[in-house]
Structures are given as structure tokens and as C-alpha cells.
Amino acid sequence: MTELPARRLLLVHAHPDDESINNGTTMAKYAAEGAQVTLVTCTRGEEGEVIPPALAHLAPDRDDRLGPHRVGELAAAMKALGVTDHRFLGGPGRFRDSGMMGAEQNRRDGAFWNTDVDDAAPYLVEIVREVRPQVLVTYDPDGGYGHPDHIQAHRVAMRAADLAADPAFRPDLGAPHRIAKIYWNRVPRTVAEEGFARLRAAGAFPRTATVEDVPGVVDDALVTAEIGGAEHAGRKAAAMRAHATQIAVEGAFFALSNDLGQPLFETEFYQLVRGEPGAPAGRREDDLFAGVTS
Ligand SMILES: [Zn+2]
């Protein structure tokens, strides 16, 4: 087996842009520190809405070229973060964006939501057994906010983590590997509330989203880790800008295609859901690898 870097982080996301919004600071930090950072994106985000009018023709109901375009945006974002290992689950275009919950696209052939978890998970098992991460980051069971592809990304990630550790499962996909720590993306409620207060005071966008629109908001007590650092947050903003069809960044704030302003969280937050915390009880970890021994 080829020699692996000492620290290995795997992130599983639904669409290009989710990784930069949720984990841009974290990915930039660990990449800069020499850790192996692997991003797996489950769809190309073909059903997204397009912000710049000049690119509106890419939309699924027109040229349907948004998927390939977003592959390029993702590559630019990864360059901004310093991440070199980014892949699509099963290869680009294997699973298609399912659209919002209840949309007709949910039931389309090849839609990620319309795929059996056990049909999708082996693609991730193979990656887990290759890159052998100690830490996995993904969404909570609601996908943070109920988008079908985010829910499915959660299910596939959790299922693949179990299957990858099982020596009886598909030995042809590599030697078994147990992921030491699994985290879900979170935002503490007080942080979200403070962010919206700053946004309203700055008046950066004419209309703003609400705390309820932010994925993964929970009571502060559930949050077990926080990763910050201004030097990495600049890269996060650059990565978000690279997703120009999806995100409009204005200073410390941004908007998606709904044009509702949101705070751009420089510090990112997590809930440890599997594995041993590497911080004393009642204290948040400041390193996702804390306590990882091998
Ligand atoms: Zn998404």
C-alpha cells in the first residue's frame, strides 16, 4: 500500500457549492496543514437555479448544461481552498441532482434521491477504503434543511462508513477501514442569530433570509467542535465566489439564487456523532483530529 499522509479528512456533499459554504474554512485549514482532504460530491447540481443572467441559458429547462459548468466551478473552488482530491460519487454525472423535495425530478431515472442507498454506497466504500480517512464530515439525517440530495448524501455517507469497516462486505473494493470520527455540519443558534443581527445592521442585502433558512442550526449545547481562522476564511470566500452560478458574495455576507442575504460564517461548527471526543467534557474541540491516534 502506498504511504498515506498522517491526517486524512473525507467530506461528503450533495452538490458543488455545499462544500465551500459549509466547510470552506475547514478544508482550507487542513489542506494548508498538509492533511489529505478528499471531497466527494454526489451530483453535479444540474437542477440549481442560475444567478447571472448571462448564464441563464445553462438551466435544466433550456440547454441543460449547468452540470458540466458546475464541475468547472467546483474545480476553481478547490483551487482556492488548496484541495487537490475532489471526486464525484460514481464519476461525474452518475447521479443527477433531484431538485427540491416534491419536485417531479425527484422520481427521474438516475436522480440521486431515486437511487437505492445500497446501490450508491459501494462507490463511497471504495473511496473510503482507498483514502482511509480518520474523520468523515457530512450532514445530519435531515440533510441540514430537507433537500432530498442532502438527505441522501447523509444516508449514503453513514451507510458507506459502516460497510467500509465490514470485512465481509465486497472485499474487491479494498481492505476494510473503520472511520474513527464522524461529524455532522452544524451552526449554533446563537451564532446564526448574531450573524443575522450583523447582516441587518450592515444592510448588505435588501432582503434577508432567517435563522430557519440556515442548514444545520441547533442549540449551542449540541455543537462539539469549531474550526476557525481568519487566514483560511479568506479562501472560503474565494471558493464561494467560484460558484458564481449559485452564490453572490458581498463582504461578510452572501445570497443564493433566492437573493436573500445570509451571514458568511468564517468559523465552522460540528457535532461529533461517532467516535471519542478529543476535548474535556463541556469544551469544544478545535481540531477534528483531536484524540485520533493512528
Ligand atoms: Zn446542495
Q: Ligand 1 mean position to 281 CA, how many Å?
A: 33
Q: Ligand 1 mean position to 198 CA, how many Å?
A: 25
Does this model's pTM top 0.85? My answer is yes
pLDDT number for residue 290: 98
pLDDT number for residue 35: 98
Q: Ligand 1 mean position to 136 CA, how many Å?
A: 18
Which residues of the chain are under the pLDDT cut of 50? none
- Ligand-binding site membership of 18 (annotated): yes
Q: Ligand 1 mean position to 264 CA, how many Å?
A: 16
Dihedral-angle region of residue 134 (phi above 0 means left; psi in -120 to 50 means alpha; beta otherwise): alpha
3-state secondary structure of 240: helix
Residue 112 near residue 42 (C-beta atoms within 8 A): yes
Q: Ligand 1 mean position to 38 CA, how many Å?
A: 18
- Ligand-binding site membership of 147 (annotated): no
Q: Ligand 1 mean position to 171 CA, how many Å?
A: 32
- Ligand-binding site membership of 154 (annotated): no
Q: Ligand 1 mean position to 21 CA, how many Å?
A: 10
Q: Ligand 1 mean position to 11 CA, how many Å?
A: 13
Q: Ligand 1 mean position to 256 CA, how many Å?
A: 11
Residue 244 near residue 49 (C-beta atoms within 8 A): no
Cβ neighbours of residue 39 under 8 Å, at least 6 residues apart?
11, 13, 19, 27, 78, 83, 85, 86, 87
Residue-wise pLDDT for 40-94, tens only, equals 999 999 999 999 999 999 999 999 999 999 999 999 999 999 999 999 999 999 9
**Rounded Cα–Cα distance for residues 147 and 122 (Å):** 22
pLDDT number for residue 1: 54
Q: Ligand 1 mean position to 290 CA, how many Å?
A: 28
pLDDT number for residue 121: 98
